[in-house]
Amino acid sequence: MRNGTGAVEISKGIYWVGGNLEENLQCNPYLIVDGDEAVLIDPGSVLDFEAVYENVCSVVPLEKIKYVILHHQDPDFCASVPLFEAKGCRFQIVTHWRTSTLLVYYGIKSDFYIVNKNRFMLTLASGRVLEFVQTPYLHFAGSIATYDRQSGTLFSSDLFGAFSKSWSLYAGDDYVEGMKAFHEHYMPSNRILRPVMSMMMEMELNMIAPQHGSIINRDVKKYIRILRDLDCGSLLDPIKKELTVAGGYHAICSAILIRYASIYSREEVLEMTRELEMRVNEKLEVIDSNNTGDVLLNRIFEKVLAKNGLSWLIVIEPYMKALAKEYDIQMPPVFDSNFKANEQKMENLNKENQLLKEVNDRLQGSLHEAEDKLTRCPVTKFYNFEFLKKYLTHEIRDLILQESLQNPGLMIIRVDNISKISYEYGESEVEQVYRNLAYMIEEMQNDLTTDFRLQDGSFALYTPQSEKESSLRFAEQIRNAVASSEKFIEKITVSIGVVCFDEMREEIKYANNPEALFFREAVARVRQAEILGRNIVCGHKADASLITKGVNILLVDEDTVVMDVIKNQLENMGYGVYTANDGSEAVDLASKKNVDLIISEIMLPKMDGLLVRENLLAQSHTKNIPYVIVSHLKSEDTVRRAFELEVSHYLKKPFMVTELMGIVKRTIARER
């Protein structure tokens, strides 16, 4: 269909009510008629108001329109709303609060129904529910889409729109390229687009009705996959600053010196400038030097490496990358992957020094390899926990010392079901999970973030300057991307804790170990996310009572591998866990500790699991503790004896972890 001449029913009770084609960007208002109510979606601009108004009136009387949904604030969506009001329409404007703050400037007088204050749902009089899907920054912070589950229709706003000089109501075979072109122009980046598309892949959709372009009524998933993988946001690359206007290479070198002074000490930086025969002022700005341009910059980093070692280069590398991108200059050669001198210099060496140079290069390579082994995780190549501790010590203490207003952020990411993967697939698959997750994080983060892998397999992400809202938004993007990813041996989820320095500035300032306090708060928040149900981002102050709340469970087994699997699962569910390796120790712990449930093997040193149960029944304060057996041994005799000793459950190894966790939940719920 071309140049719409009237309303078109595209699904039962759902109408396209658009006007004539304007240039090569078609606008598509929609109308849902549900009994005595109607919902108008993105009614359009002033230019096509008369056609849209006529089409709407041909379907329903104006008084039936109870709601107008505005997916964002652009004039091609909203400008005609005051004209509908002038025709006597009385409705509520359904939108996000961020959009509502701008809509008033159209002169709209109707009341607002704010979706984020109403659980992102609108329930019509018939009981039909319209759900609102958040699509932030696609292409406005408050952008949403509308999902009508009853018809399986997604009113997608700008998403799935297209440029087309030859418009048709329904998308044809040539629609894809126009759709790609539209998104390449208007959508900010694949990093923002991909999580939303991954979420839409999980929705039950029969049709996508975009505000621009054509309706997609077949092969819906194909179009979602195309946008999920589309590289867009070409205009996002930063505008390059003019180096000469900014002060030339002297300004770059000054910025590097000032950053080093803030991380390490002013005295060390001044000593380095003297050795380089540089003159600097009190602010460490370069006044004069025997070298100029990139030669000066390269000499600084060569001196840094020779005098202070690799750690000084590692610390400054993200900042230098940002400056190089901002001013469109080359990274100093010392920052290459192995920190070797460039090949051109090697070629210029005379024959007498060539052998010595090759020997030196091999030695440097070995030293760097050894240093990498000491500072990096061999699986993910992220820095390790020992390096993180030193890094945080420098960063946090210098921030306090300098009274800097810098607001670094720390994020801890923990895989929720890693114990299950370890038990069912083995450690090689666990490492593959971490390797894939590290790759996903690197793909999503910005250049200023430094990554670490902690001792327990968790990841830490440190950003030198952050805002709480953007940090939480990034954490949600990671969480959603992981949950929808097909990269892992089975579906996984992550829990994430986020903390920013400004939240704790006063508390940290007076702490004996400020970096440890900062780190512990991030760990406490990821722990709280796990306790609250996992697959959650926690960015608020950890509740100590919640973290320690729960029942205590005693595990008794000589097999430490099995015991660790069960222990990790229980701790992830929020339970306190005691462990014992023999029967005698188990009886002693149960007598002294507050134990709510015991999970025991039968075959134990010193005292078997059934004799443990018999001993506990003989004591009034332990006889009522529920007792679960998980053992390789299960015969008629042991089952009979377990029954006599009032054992609540008896599982034979190998067992299903999920089954045992279900038994634990039901037993605790019954006892409580």
Q: What is the pLDDT of residues 372-393, one digit of tens each?
A: 566 788 888 899 988 999 999 9
Q: Which domain holds residue 564?
A: 550-671
Amino acid found at 498: V
The answer to whether position 364 is within a domain reads no
* C-alpha of 380 from chain center: 18
The answer to whether position 618 is within a domain reads yes
pLDDT surpasses 60 at 2: no
pLDDT of residue 155: 96
Same domain, yes or no: 307 and 390? no
What's the whole-number average pLDDT of the chain?
85
Same domain, yes or no: 98 and 229? yes
CB atoms within 10 A of CB 131: 17
Q: Which residues pair with 599 in a beta bridge?
A: 555, 628
184: domain CATH number? 3.60.15.10
451: domain CATH number? 3.30.70.270
The answer to whether position 658 is within a domain reads yes
Q: What is the pLDDT of residues 37-70, one digit of tens each?
A: 999 999 988 888 899 999 999 999 999 999 999 9
The answer to whether position 347 is within a domain reads no
pLDDT surpasses 70 at 645: yes
The answer to whether position 349 is within a domain reads no
pLDDT surpasses 60 at 552: yes
Same domain, yes or no: 197 and 87? yes
Average pLDDT, integer, range 615-625: 82
pLDDT of residue 89: 92
Same domain, yes or no: 56 and 166? yes
Same domain, yes or no: 593 and 618? yes
For residues 537 and 498, is the Cβ–Cβ distance under 8 A? yes
The answer to whether position 425 is within a domain reads yes
Q: What is the pLDDT of residues 78-104, one digit of tens each?
A: 999 999 999 989 999 999 988 888 898
pLDDT surpasses 70 at 1: no
Same domain, yes or no: 555 and 536? no
> Which tops the pLDDT comparison, 4 or 63?
63
The CA dihedral of 567, 570, 571, 577, to the nearest 10 degrees, is -60
pLDDT of residue 110: 92
Orientation angle between helical segments 220-228 and 175-186, nearest 10 degrees: 40
Q: What is the pLDDT of residues 556-590, one digit of tens each?
A: 999 888 898 899 888 878 788 999 999 999 999 98
* 183 pLDDT tier (thresholds 50, 70, 90): confident
Between 357-361, 374-378, 512-516, 608-612, the lowest mean confidence (pLDDT) is in: 357-361
Average pLDDT, integer, range 453-477: 91
Please state the φ and ψ torsions of residue 577, each to the nearest 5 degrees. Answer: -130, 130
Same domain, yes or no: 557 and 646? yes
Same domain, yes or no: 413 and 325? no
Same domain, yes or no: 63 and 104? yes
Q: Which helix (H) or strand (E) holds 396?
A: helix 385-402
3-state helix, strand, coil in the chain (%, to 5): 50, 15, 35
614: domain CATH number? 3.40.50.2300
Write down which residue in 508, 527, 546 finishes a domain: 546
The answer to whether position 2 is within a domain reads no
Write down which residue in 546, 562, 578 finishes a domain: 546
pLDDT of residue 366: 45
Could you give the CA distance from residue 631 to residue 603 in angstroms, rounded to a whole number?
A: 7
For residues 646 and 627, is the Cβ–Cβ distance under 8 A? yes
Write down which residue in 492, 519, 546 finishes a domain: 546
The total number of structural domains in the chain stands at 4
pLDDT surpasses 60 at 234: no
Same domain, yes or no: 149 and 161? yes
Same domain, yes or no: 554 and 487? no
Could you give the CA distance from residue 215 to residue 170 in angstroms, rounded to a whole number?
A: 5
Same domain, yes or no: 167 and 111? yes
What share of the chain has pLDDT > 70, as a percent? 88
The answer to whether position 507 is within a domain reads yes
